[in-house]
């Protein structure tokens, strides 16, 4: 009888949490369905695995998929660590904004890599039938270059604003990661490289993503250890 009462109470307590989780999810699915009707895109294309949609083997985009997993891991580490800082006011004031901004920056990079925003955004100006990569590669590179300028400004402002925070971390990793990203972009925009163009570009990008993950893993680990030390100190004082 006690088990049944506890089960009923647990289900009752679960309802508000489930409502917060599943209601937005259902609304998102409805929104996607509406957009599919508006833009005449099948739900199959929006829900199925990309390799299945285009009839390619499961290993298609292997490098890219690994990169997405690593981006997601970094974003999760940043937001989780940012929320953890709330348990200590001094750590919260010092690190929360840095970690939250790092989460947004990483998420932006993740979305760009996932949806290839830097390559597909020209469609907004020229339409889906423009086929810029084949008809005018130089114009495509110019438009991509404009997108990367926004990248550089965003990253520069991030580094400038949080320079004091970064100086307290093992910043050699973030410098190395940015160097790898720069090399990847340089190769991507260099039309002179023919042999091994894709593998060179993707290798530099993957190395950059791995190094980005290492930097934030080390940084967040250090911050969490600070939180643990502060908790121990406060416990002894109590």
**Please, what sign has the CA dihedral across residues 31, 118, 178, 64?**
positive
Which pLDDT value is given to residue 4?
55
Q: Any idea of the CA torsion for 12, 14, 15, 16, to the nearest 10 degrees?
A: 120
pLDDT tens across 112-129, in order?
999 887 776 655 555 555
CA–CA separation, 163 and 212 (whole Å)? 16
Tell me the C-alpha distance between 206 and 228, whole Å.
33
pTM above 0.85, yes or no: no
Q: What is the average pLDDT across 75-93? A: 91
**Better pLDDT: 84 or 139:** 84
C-alpha 141/C-alpha 120 separation (Å) is 12
What confidence score (pLDDT) does residue 237 get? 55
Percent of the chain with pLDDT over 70: 81
Torsion, Cα of 36, 39, 42, 45 (10° steps): -90
At 127-165, the pLDDT tens digits run 555 555 555 556 666 767 777 888 889 999 999 999 999
- Who has greater pLDDT, 5 or 155? 155
pLDDT of residue 111: 92
Q: Render the burial of 46-84: b for 16+ CB within 10 Å, e for the rest.
A: eeeeeeeeeeeeeeeeebeeebbebbeebbebbbebbeb
**Does 181 have pLDDT greater than 80?**
yes
Q: Exposed e or buried b for every residue in 156-170, given b needs 16+ CB within 10 A? A: eebeeebeebbeebe
The Cα–Cα gap between 170 and 176 comes to 11
Most confident of 42-56, 115-129, 151-165, 183-197: 151-165
Cβ atoms 95, 216 nearer than 8 A: no
Q: Can you tell me the distance from the alpha carbon of 65 to that of 230, in angstroms, rounded to the nearest whole number?
A: 39
- Residues whose CB is less than 8 angstroms from the CB of residue 189 and which lie 6 or more positions away in sequence, other chains included: 141, 144, 145, 148
Question: Who has greater pLDDT, 164 or 50?
Answer: 164
User: For residue 188, what are its two tokens?
Assistant: 């991507």
Q: Where are the alpha helices (DSSP H) in 168-196?
A: 172-189
How many other C-beta atoms lie within 10 A of the C-beta of residue 107? 16
């Amino acid at each position: 009888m006690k088990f049944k009462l506890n089960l009923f109470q647990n289900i009752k307590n679960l309802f508000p949490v489930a409502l917060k989780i599943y209601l937005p999810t259902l609304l998102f699915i409805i929104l996607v369905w509406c957009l599919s009707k508006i833009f005449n895109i099948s739900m199959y294309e929006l829900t199925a695995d990309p390799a299945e949609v285009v009839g390619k083997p499961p290993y298609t985009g292997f490098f890219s998929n690994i990169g997405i997993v690593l981006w997601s891991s970094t974003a999760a580490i940043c937001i989780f660590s940012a929320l953890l800082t709330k348990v200590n006011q001094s750590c919260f004031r010092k690190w929360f904004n840095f970690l939250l901004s790092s989460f947004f920056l990483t998420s932006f990079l993740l979305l760009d890599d996932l949806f290839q925003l830097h390559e597909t955004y020209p469609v907004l100006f020229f339409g889906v039938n423009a086929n810029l990569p084949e008809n005018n590669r130089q114009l495509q590179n110019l438009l991509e270059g404009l997108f990367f300028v926004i990248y550089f400004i965003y990253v520069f402002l991030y580094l400038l604003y949080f320079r004091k925070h970064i100086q307290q971390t093992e910043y050699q990793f973030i410098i190395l990661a940015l160097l790898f990203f720069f090399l990847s972009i340089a190769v991507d925009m260099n039309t002179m490289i023919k042999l091994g163009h894709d593998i060179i570009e993707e290798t530099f990008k993957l190395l950059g993503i791995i190094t980005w993950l290492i930097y934030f893993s080390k940084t967040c680990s250090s911050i969490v250890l600070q939180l643990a030390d502060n908790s121990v100190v406060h416990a002894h004082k109590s």
